[in-house]
Amino acid sequence: MNKQLLTNYDPEIQAAITRELSRQESGLELIPSENFVSIAVLEALGSVLTNKYSEGYPGRRYYGGCEFIDQVEQIAIDRAKQLFGAEHANVQPLSGAPANIAAYFALMEPGDTILGMDLSHGGHLTHGHPVTSIAKVFNFIRYKTDSEGKIDLDNLRQMAREHKPKVILVGYSAYSREIDYASVQKIADEVGAITMADIAHIAGLIAGKQMNNPVPIFDVVTTTTHKTLRGPRGGMILCKEKYAKAIDKAVFPGLQGGPHENNIAGKAIAFKEALEPGFIEYAKQIKLNAKVLERKFKAFGGYDIQFGGTDNHLLLVDVTPLGLTGKIAEKALDVAGITLNKNMIPDDPRSPMDPSGIRFGTPALTTRGMKEAEMEIVADLMHEAMTNHNDEAKLKNVRQQVNALTSKFPLYPELA
């Protein structure tokens, strides 16, 4: 076996990794679903745990030699349960979409109806968009937000009574408001539906006690472990004990084989970090920073902030009143060293690849230590770049200002 270090054995890959590190360090990362993990999480991801097959669950493996793997996974499970107040946790899903799909198969039979949020109103592809394969298996009915950008609970109740879903699903990827889980549970009780929440985007804000926690209320809750939770890329399912066996069986052997235990170790570390008192302050700062961006973009004029504002970490903004599209804005901001994503707005007349809006948020910049004063600067730089999207010289100037700002907030000083 070649024992050379990566820098010697494969300089091409090492060079690409180095350039990516430089990009992350020198730019402003505003994609709401991205964040920066700790050095400890990076160490776990690159550990010898990646060598081990461990199909099954702690104490119930199909392979030998899993005694230490069992310790790692059980620690992750116990910390997840403590963090969210869960009766049961499955930490094996490879990401958010597989977690959702496993939950569907655990709770429903093919052809059953699930009531979920429309993609253009902030939902997720796996919540039943017709382009997904899972939409061919289950009958997805999609609800929308009202004219004020809120989930209309009266309409949700009416739809639930009409369609009699097996599952009512709440959660989102681009919605910026809080959810009244107790009221949704009441509607589900009225029609005999199972409740499921996808908290992938806001798990860190829930863990940091800054948003409502559906775990003690709902039957099943799925999440990613990255995004606001600031862990490795992966998924997790939390549920009531009555659904534990069905959930575990749906994950393995239903949909997945051997779990990625190096990733599960990273999850365990992230859960430990989220259980520390400082994580509450981090979650508070994420929301404070998002509110600065909301205020600034309202003051600029010309931007149509969807859902009326934000209660969490992100903003969805229609840029077409400025004569832009989401695609044009994203490209101009990329040139300026500011990364976000183009995104559809509710009932967007434009296509997903060239939509009307942009989506941006504050978790990653908050991880770097930026606070309200920096958000003021970030908003000004974003506005300058978008209003000068055709001027390369001005975009280059914005890039220089971005570099000057990020240099004050080193990402991984340990790797310098």
Residue 198 a catalytic site member: yes
* Furthest C-alpha separation in the chain: 64
Residue 224 a catalytic site member: yes
pLDDT tens, residue by residue, 80-115: 999 999 999 999 999 999 999 999 999 999 999 999
Question: Which amino acid appears at position 18 of this protein?
Answer: T
* The two three-digit tokens of residue 123, written as one number: 């939902």
Question: Quick check: 154 and 180 in contact, CB under 8 A?
Answer: no
Residues forming CATH 3.40.640.10 domain(s) in the chain: 42-274
- Residue in 10, 43, 55, 380 annotated catalytic: 55
Residue 387 a catalytic site member: no
SS3 353: coil
In eight-state DSSP terms, residue 147 is T
- Residue in 233, 240, 267, 359 annotated catalytic: 233
List the chain residues with pLDDT less than 70.
1-2, 416
Sign of CA dihedral 205, 211, 214, 215: positive
Kindly give the interhelix angle for 181-191 and 153-163, rounded to the nearest 10 degrees: 20
Report the CATH number of the 15-32+278-409 domain. Answer: 3.90.1150.10
- Residue in 61, 79, 142, 227 annotated catalytic: 227
Question: Which amino acid appears at position 311 of this protein?
Answer: D
Residues forming CATH 3.90.1150.10 domain(s) in the chain: 15-32+278-409
CA 197/CA 143 separation, integer angstroms: 14
Using CB atoms within 10 Å of the CB of residue 295, give its burial: 0 to 12 exposed, 13 to 18 middle, 19+ buried. middle
The arrangement of secondary structure in 42-274, i.e. its CATH architecture, is 3-Layer(aba) Sandwich (3.40)
DSSP-derived pairing of the beta strands 167-171 and 139-143? unpaired
Residue 227 a catalytic site member: yes
Residue 53 a catalytic site member: yes
Q: Which helix (H) or strand (E) holds 396?
A: helix 392-406
In this prediction, residue 150 carries a pLDDT of: 84
